[in-house]
Amino acid sequence: MSDFCDPWHKHAEKGATVPDAARFACAYELFISFEWFDEVAFFRRTETADELWTGSGGCSAHRSRKHPAPYTDVSQRATLTGIGCAYAVPPRGEEAAACLGLVARLFRARVGFYWPERFIAGGIVEKAAYQRVVRDLKRELERSEREARARETEIIRTAQELGLHPRPSGTGPDSWYANCPGKNHPLYITATAESFGCGWCKRKGGVEDLRTFVEERAKEGQR
Ligand SMILES: [Zn+2]
Distance between CA atoms of residues 26 and 37, nearest Å: 14
Q: Which helix (H) or strand (E) holds 154?
A: helix 154-161
Q: Tell me, yes or no, whether 23 and 133 share the same domain.
A: yes
For residues 208 and 110, state if they share a domain. no
Which of the listed residues 118, 144, 170 is the one where a domain comes to its end? 144
Residue 142, pLDDT > 80, answer yes
Same domain for 87 and 34, yes or no, is: yes
21 and 88 assigned to the same domain: yes
What is the Cα–Cα distance from 39 to 66, expressed in whole angstroms?
Answer: 16
Tally of domains in the chain: 2
Kindly give the distance from the C-alpha atom of residue 29 to the centroid of ligand 1, in angstroms, as a whole number.
Answer: 27
- Rounded to whole angstroms, how far apart are CA atoms 177 and 170? 9
Neighbours of ion ligand 1 (CB under 5 A): 180, 183, 198, 200-201
61, 114: one domain: yes
pTM assigned to the model? 0.77
Question: d(Cα 60, Cα 64) in Å, to the nearest integer?
Answer: 6
Please tell me whether residues 51 and 89 are part of one structural domain: yes
Give the chain's end-to-end CA distance (angstroms, integer): 53
Q: How far is the CA of 201 from the centre of ligand 1 (A)?
A: 4
Domain that holds residue 158: 154-222
CA of 109 to the centre of ligand 1 (A): 20
Same-domain check for residues 120 and 160? no
Choose the final residue of a domain: 95, 110, 144: 144
Residue 206 has a pLDDT of: 97
Q: Using the mean position of ligand 1's atoms as its centre, give its distance from the Cα of residue 188 in Å.
A: 9
Each residue of 78-126: pLDDT tens digit?
999 999 999 999 999 999 999 999 999 999 988 878 999 999 999 999 9
Q: Please tell me whether residues 129 and 170 are part of one structural domain.
A: no
